[in-house]
A = this chain, B = another copy of it.
Amino acid sequence: MQQHSASIAMATQPNASQPSYVIGVDIGGTKLRLALADISGTVLARWSASTVDIRNADKVVLLIAQGVDILLAEVNANRRTLRAIAAAAPGITDPDRGIVVATSYLMGWINVPLRALLEAELNIPAAIDNDVNLAALGEGRAGIAQGTPDFVFLAIGTGLGAGILLNNQIFRGHAFIAGEIGYILVPGVSEDPIPRGQPGALEQIIGGEGIKSQWQRHWNPSLTKLPLSAAPTEIFDEAITGDTLAQQVLVSTARALSYAIYNIALILNCPLFVFGGTVGLHPALIEATRHALQQRSVRVQPQLLPSALGSDAQLIGAIRLALDTANVSAPKP
């Protein structure tokens, strides 16, 4: 019993020898992921839950709080050991005001004050940012782009987006939508104006859905062993084996992507592009894009490298943002 009382006292009155933690959150369209890390950024525990039927922001925040408590229990700690939390949200975020301005599909949030909701629920400093921006931050601080102050993270999954780090900081632009590269115009894309809410001209070719529609438009059983319903990663797998249609789709995707990279590299003069997302991580796409870029120019030759953190990039980025937030909020000695 004596032992037990001592343990409760420790839990409610933290002292200097007690460890401190931060939480990183990745709010996906279908899945919520949390990770708890120590103040060196090392991940100690993870938790996830489905968000398929959850749209309401208050409910998402309650679910996050539930996950936080489960993670704390796993490391035998309590909420008083938490220094900060940071969340990666899909869509447009205003990190200065802590607001999710708009999410596209699935969540449908408009002007959700996510930072304030998290702070009210957990009583710790909170921060938010766009998920692709945080994936870039993760790669810059703890991934393949460490030591490269200026680089672009390409997120190629269902859609297409970019996170830009300049001088080791996330570059967001005046309305927080820098890196919206799905709309970029390169030779070969449709020049038709894009109705609001529709995928951009480049995304129509390079995003996962775009690759699928390229595939379906040209599908013919005489050209491929794969079915009409093949996924982009299956198409790229098959391209390596010499499948005619799969190779054609790989080459046309890589060419359009190399044009976009070329344009971005001309504007920003950045030496590195990090490929992320389920489609972007495919080695055949990276290799084919590298080849297309080499064909184009000897002058503009940024490195093209796969994400080191893979699907964890935005979660690790959220942890790094939480650590920054904890440091800013820490009382000065």
Contacts and interface: CB of A to CB of B under 8 A. Distances in A.
Contacts of A175: 269, 271
Contacts of A189: 187
Given A181-B266, A183-B297, A184-B266, 13 more contacts: A150-B174, A171-B268, A172-B269, A173-B269, A175-B271, A180-B266, A183-B262, A183-B300, A185-B263, A186-B187, A187-B191, A263-B267, A264-B267
Contacts of A193: 295-297
Given A186-B187, A187-B187, A270 B174 contact: yes
Contacts of A149: 174
A191 B256 CA distance: 11
Interface string A144-185: 000001100000000000101010000111111111110111
A299 interface: yes
Integer count of this chain's copies in the complex:
2
Contact of A263 (B178, B263, B299): B263
Contact of A150 (B173, B176, B264): B173
A275 interface: no
A233 B26 CA distance: 54
A80 to B, nearest CB: 38
Q: Which 3 interchain pairs have the tightest Cβ spacing?
A: A173-B269, A178-B269, A185-B259
Contacts of A295: 193
A188 to B, nearest CB: 8
A178 B267 contact: yes
Interface in A262-284: 262-264, 266-271
Interface string A190-204: 010110100000000
B173 A270 contact: yes
A131 to B, nearest CB: 17
A173 B268 contact: yes
A260 to B, nearest CB: 9
Contacts of A300: 183
Interface string A291-333: 0000111111000000000000000000000000000000000
Contacts of A172: 269
A180 B297 CA distance: 14
A117 to B, nearest CB: 26
Interface in A189-236: 189, 191, 193-194, 196
B185 A186 contact: yes
A128 to B, nearest CB: 18
Contacts of A269: 172-180
B194 A297 contact: yes
Interface in A101-131: none
A194 B268 CA distance: 19
10 contacts: A166-B166, A178-B269, A179-B269, A184-B266, A185-B262, A185-B263, A186-B186, A193-B295, A193-B296, A263-B267
Interface string A228-251: 000000000000000000000000
